[in-house]
């Protein structure tokens, strides 16, 4: 469980702090008029970060695993949505960058 949570945090932080920061820098420098459009996608992505962080906080050092199966379902849905929104954000930035 600890390895799963660590991998989850690595995925969340890599996308957020490495990939999206770089895309936003390039994109915002070349297309500031589109900022409200990409902000909506980024906000959706950030909501999934909160779900992943809550899961991590609960299961990094779990006291009990009774709710694990019911907690995995919303996490899985959030991650699936996040991946779709990440793809959409990347496409959006690439289409509108110089």
If you write DSSP's letter for every residue of 20-50 in order, what string do you get? IHHHHHHHHHH-GGGHHHHHHHHHHHHHHHH
Q: Is the pLDDT of residue 72 over 70?
A: yes
- SS3 of 43, please? helix
Task: Provide the pLDDT confidence category of residue 94 given band limits of 50, 70 and 90.
Answer: confident
Instruction: Note the pLDDT tens digit of each residue in 26-70.
Output: 666 666 665 666 678 888 888 999 999 999 999 998 888 999 999
Q: What are the residue ranges spanned by the domains of the chain?
A: 2-96
Pair of tokens at residue 70: 């019911």
For residue 17, what is the DSSP state?
A: I
């Amino acid at each position: 469980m600890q390895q799963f949570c660590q991998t989850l945090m690595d995925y969340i932080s890599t996308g957020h702090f490495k990939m999206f920061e770089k895309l936003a820098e390039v994109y915002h420098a070349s297309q500031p008029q589109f900022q409200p459009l990409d902000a909506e996608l980024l906000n959706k992505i950030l909501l999934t970060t909160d779900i992943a962080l809550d899961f991590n906080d609960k299961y990094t050092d779990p006291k009990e695993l009774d709710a694990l199966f019911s907690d995995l379902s919303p996490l899985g849905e959030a991650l699936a949505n996040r991946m779709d929104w990440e793809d959409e954000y990347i496409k959006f930035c690439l289409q509108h960058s110089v």
